Structure formats: C-alpha cells, structure tokens
Structure 1
Amino acid sequence: MEFEYSDRCKELQGKLLRFMDEHIYPNEKAYKAEIDRNGVEKGNRWLPTKIIEDLKPKAREQGLWNLFLPKSPRAPEGLSNLDYAPLCEIMGRVGWAPEVFNCSAPDTGNMETIERYGSEEHKKQWLEPLLRGEIRSAFAMTEPAVASSDATNIETRIERDGDEYVINGHKWWISGAGDPRCQIFILMGKTDPGAARHSQQSMILVPANTPGVNIRRPLPVFGYDDAPHGHCEITYENVRVPVSNMLLGEGRGFEIAQGRLGPGRIHHCMRAIGVAERALEYMCRRLNERVAFGRRISEQSIWRERVAESRIQIDTARLLTLKAAYMMDTVGNKHAKAEIAMIKVLAPNVAQQVLDWSIQAHGAAGVSDEFPLAYMWAGNRTLRIADGPDEVHRNAVAKLELSKHMTLQGEDTELPITRS
C-alpha cells in the first residue's frame, strides 16, 4: 500500500499553506465581522461575504480550484482521493476556507453526484456553473418526522403526473439552503412505497426557485446560526419538476446515495483532521505560555499525557483516512466501505477529544469567541451525526467483520467471504 503523494500534490500543498497564511488566517475575525455587519446594515446575515468572493479569483489563479473531483473532463484539475487528502486537511483548519477553493460541502458531493449520475443536460445546466463557483447547491435528505439514519424511513413523496413529478415533503438540516446563491437541490424521496425496501427511493433535481419550495427557518447549532452557509428547515408543497430531472431512474436513490456519501464522508474526515491539528497547536501554545502553581502548565504530567495522546490519535486517524482514500482510488468506493465507515467514526471523535482538551487548556477563554475553539467544537460535534451517526457506521463495520467468520449451516469450514 503506497501513501506517497504525487509531485503535483506536494506543489499544491506548498501553495495552499502559503495561501492560508497570507489570506485565510489573517481574515478570520474580519470574516465574522462582515457577517455581523451584513446583519445590521443590510438586514441579512446570509449574504455572500466580500472576503470569500475576493479570494476566489486568487485561489483559481494559483490552481487551487476544484481539487476534489477526480477523473472528470470538466474539472481536469481534480486530484485522486489520496492526493486530495492532505489539501482537504489544510482547508479544514478554518471552517469557511474550503469555499474559497470551490471545495466546500455540500457542493462537492452534489457536483460529484451530477458528474456521475446526471445527464449531459444536467451537467450543462447545473454542474458547469457549480464548477465555476457561480452558484451553490444543497442536498435534501433528512426529515424531522422520522429517524433519517435509516433512509428507508424517508416519507417525502415523488409522484409522477404526466411529464412531471410532484413532490411533497418536509426536510430539515439542509446544509447551504439559506445561501441566496443556492439554486439547485438534490432531493431524496419515495417514488414507490410498495417496492422492495431499497428500491422505493429516488433522487431528483429540484431548482430552488420552483413554486412550492419553502424555506421555513435556519437551524442554529449550539447557538451558532452558521450564516452565511447554515442549515435550514424546508417544506416541499406540490412542487412540480420535469420528468427529465430524475437521476438515473426511479428506485435508484440508494445506489446514488452510496456513490455520493462515500466521498462526502471521507472529505469530512480529512477536514476533521485539520481541525484536530489546529486544536493541538492552540493547546501546545497555551500550555507553553501559561504558568500555574509556579511552573508552566506544559510541565505538568497530565497535560503532557494529553498532548502525547492527541498526537497518537491524530496520526492514527490520518493513516486510516489515507488507507480509505487509497482504496477508493484503487478498488472503488464500494470495496472501501468498511474503511470509510471506520474513519467516519474515528476522525470526528478524535477531533472532538483534542478540541475538548484544547478548550480545557484555555480555561474560560476556550469557551469564548476570543479563540475559534468553541465554534470549531460546535461544528465538529455535528459530524458524529451528519452523513450517518456513529452508531450506524459502527453497525456496518460490525456486520462486515462478522460476515468474514460465517459458516454454511451444517459445515465446519468458514466461507471465503469478501467485502462487497
């Protein structure tokens, strides 16, 4: 198994580190101030920020654009999953940074979905402006009335009426829906409730300006509204879209979901490792600077233990992420599903633990907005739920592991079970 990054990846890594130092970190407080100013002066915290819009051309000029999408003729700059991993990690150190490089969720997953499963017309109408960074998108799956960790529970109906589909349903935690640039939803719903369990669902493209699409409210996370990105509650009331907006065909929603969520999940994990690294840096600086009971806090054994454990856990998570990325590149997402599930559990939990220790090291300052730690903690905590909760991924890993040791009834020999 080879984890060596390509020369191009190493070159981009250097460019990206310099870009973060020159343009991203110095603008963190200015970014938040601009959002607040939009709320006061323009009455809308959800407006796009000038800081990000001004930085996008700079990123594109340096070739730091659309790096997430492999093997697409429309995005020749796209990297393999393995080469993208260290770059995504760097971007993840600041929550809003990925948008500067057109590498932010949920757009990355949506672009990959349209690239893999959309028609040529879909690609011209939606994928190309997304790749240019002209519009944004959202993925509408989760619902308030059911346990959406089991997607077969989803109740939104997609019913055919002549040359149109009529959509009725209630969604929430739809990331990016509050952005005025959001022009397209990929929606998951039921086309045939009577079909086999995993053939009831379909995915369809819904333009955001379609009559009947109603954004009800933004949903704060631990008190943060997360503007101008955010998560929204949405109702779809007799929403009509052309039959041609269906992706792949009726009943193929789960097939698409598996293709979409694999890359989306590993991207979250890559960014979570960047969060953990930054939290560790903050922790070490604080421990070296502060004196308590006559000596630097960094000299106390409990904090040395925590620093060491942080390094061990971060490097463990990174190596498993690279293994998953390598497998996605070499044997495909389907055969990497165990590794993707494992890292989806491990990376957010590692980041959460390191963030918690870093907040503790900062004392009262750690829970304030003097440092980004509290905001990073709130955002990272959602990853243990987003794209499938820990429990679902652990269950998937357990089933795959148990299947390797199953025997045919009445036989003593083990079956040669392979991961499917």
Structure 2
Amino acid sequence: MSSKSVENSIITDLGLAPEGHLKIDWVEAHMPVLNKVRKQFEAEQPFKGLKVAISLHLEAKTAYLAKVIQAGGADVTITGSNPLSTQDDVCAALVEDGVTVFAKYNPEPKEYKELMIRALETKPDLIIDDGGDLVTILHAERPELLETVRGGAEETTTGILRLKALEKEGALKFPMVAVNDAYCKYLFDNRYGTGQSVWDGINRTTNLVVAGKTVVVVGYGWCGKGVAMRAKGLGANVIVTEIDAIKAVEAYMDGFRVMPMHEAAREGDFFVTVTGNRDVITGEHYDVMKDGAILSNAGHFDVEVNKPELQARSQSVRTVRRNIEEYQLKDGRKIYLLAEGRLVNLAAGDGHPAEIMDMTFALQALSLKYVNDLHNSIGSRVVNVPYELDEQVARYKLESLGMGIDQLSEVQKSYLDSWAEH
C-alpha cells in the first residue's frame, strides 16, 4: 500500500478494499487482451515519470485499466464520470494498490465536481476522459491547469461531439484520440456491450418480464442497435425512433417498427434512450404514455429524459425500489424512471461485460501511448485511433480465443494492388 495514495485520496471507506480486490481480480482473469498490453507496458515503461488522470465509470474493469497504465510507469489519479456508477469498494482497493482516487458513490453534485477538479489539480501529463468532462473543466474553468497536458483519449460519443465542437471553434489546446470511433470500440462495446448491460441493469432493477412487452429504443446508432437486438432476443416487440432517415431504414430492414416519438410514446412499456442528445422524451410524450411505463437512459448524461417536465406533471414522487422512482401524474397514471435517468447499465448495474471492456480498454491504453509518443507532431485536434492499433487489439482478441485467420499470398496482394491484372 502506498502511503501517498492513502493520504491524498478522497474515498468513502478504505476498509472496503478486500471486496474491491476480489472484483478487480475477477475482471483481470477475464481481460486477456488488456493483460497482453500490460506485459508490453511493463517491459517498455511508456509512461515512466508521467502523471495520468482518468475520469471513467469507476468500477472493477476501469480499476484494472488504471493498474495497467500504472504498470507502464505512470503516477495514476482516477475520478468517476457518473456519481451513481462509482463503487466504493473498488475505490478502496485502488488506493491500496497505489492509485490516487477522488471518488465516492452518489456524492452531492458540488462535491462530485470538486472531486473531478482535485484529479486535475495533480497537473497530469495525459488524461483519459468520458463524456468530455475533464476537457471541459480544463478549458472552461481551470485553464491554468492546461499547461502540463500533452493529450489524451476520449471514451464516448458524447465526449467526441463536445471535443469536435471545441476543435471547430479553434479552442482545443491539446490532441485527443477519439477512441469511441475505433472499430474495436463501437462494433463491440457500443453494440454488444451496451445491448447486454442495459438489459442486465433494467432486469435486475425491475424484476419484470420483457417478453411480449413493447420496447421503444430512442436512437439507432451502434448502442441503439445493440439494445434493440437484445430486446428482440428477450421476446419484446421493438419500436425504433430516429432523426436519421438512413438509420431508420436500417432499423426497418432489421425487423423493427419505426415511427416518430409522439406515436411511439403511446405504445411503449419500456423506453431506452441512446442518443447522446437532450430532451428526447419530454412533456408531450408523458401526456400520452401508458400507466406503468418504465423510462431508462443509456446515453452519457441524465438529460435525455426530461425530468423537470416529468416532475411538473406529477402530484407525488417516491422511491419504490432501489433505482426506481415512481412519478404519479396528476391524472393518476404512474410513470417509472430508472436510476434517476442516468446510465442504467452502470448506475443500476455493473456496466459492460469484462470481455467487451477488455477490447475497449486495451484501445484506451494503446491510444494513450500513441498520443504521448506523437503529441508534438499531432497538433491540437481530435484524431482517430490508427488502424494498426485497432487491428492489434483484434489480433490479441483472436489469440485469446484460440482462433486464427487467413493471410493474403504475394500473388493475391499483387492482384489487389493492380488495376491491370484480371
């Protein structure tokens, strides 16, 4: 145990560490890709002498990523990216392992923000962000802390949208790698990870059957595709709402009904928002929903389901089960909101499966090394994960599964490279 990490950290209870260690040990045993990256980092020490600040959903898989970066020589500080997804026992275990932690489960909003700022006050050289929170604080509130930051990596669709807006204004001060846009992230994490973990969170929270119910999936990006696919697998009748005509046609051809939200609102038993935008379920929709409709969000911020407009239509609000708030409307109907409208898969569950986050966090770790190696030449912009890193993670994954793939012969390569051969 590092006395420095114990003295500097702000957590709930160091005595919770034993249970946290068990959780971290479990995911480590199921993250073979990240284990290979760890061996690489232990040998190369790419972050030796550097400080790294991480803001992610602070549970066991994230903790293991922090330990892998620490194994690469970094002095690691970590904070949460959602007040309801932080696990106090995992925080305690990380502190015992020498990571500085500024995080607690469900702090007051002001304290939650202060804990993020404390992580940035360590003056990191590199950052890993989730939703653009660290970047926003650095640029909008604490610009004096920008001077040490070489660059970083962003985890989410929401964060990349914020980064690109900052870049468009010419205000971004360091390079950020768009990890969310990598193949080995969105094809697997967003689709299979979100699809499974959302329904894990909903099912364990509500203990209600999905089969035969109508599920409205709001947004048909990669996350929406996964949520809809798993809902169908559970026996639900699935409706998709979209603003993008191409994605709407895709949802239709995938076998789902497509309609505007004001129509879907009348039919849904379960609603899952996955847009990255705000106010996709609002007052006009509450006005026509069924008695007993269940609302949940799997986008980054708790703004997709408009809570003030739901509150304004309610005569009473009470917690009926953990992570379920019952809003009784003035006409007597009841609408249920899961996890306060925050990420249902993390606030009411354990997040994506370890084998899925194995690939995403391997990309995070390798992307952090990439931006550190080339930060002087990349410039202050948002950059994609190099295809070589994407492919490296996929190769590691195949190896862990005991699978191989074919390779092109020299003749085949020549054929593909030539316009004259036929």
Q: State the TM-score, normalizing by the size of structure 2.
A: 0.27
Point out which structure has higher relative CO (alpha carbons under 8 A, 6+ apart): 2
Q: State the TM-score, normalizing by the size of structure 1.
A: 0.28
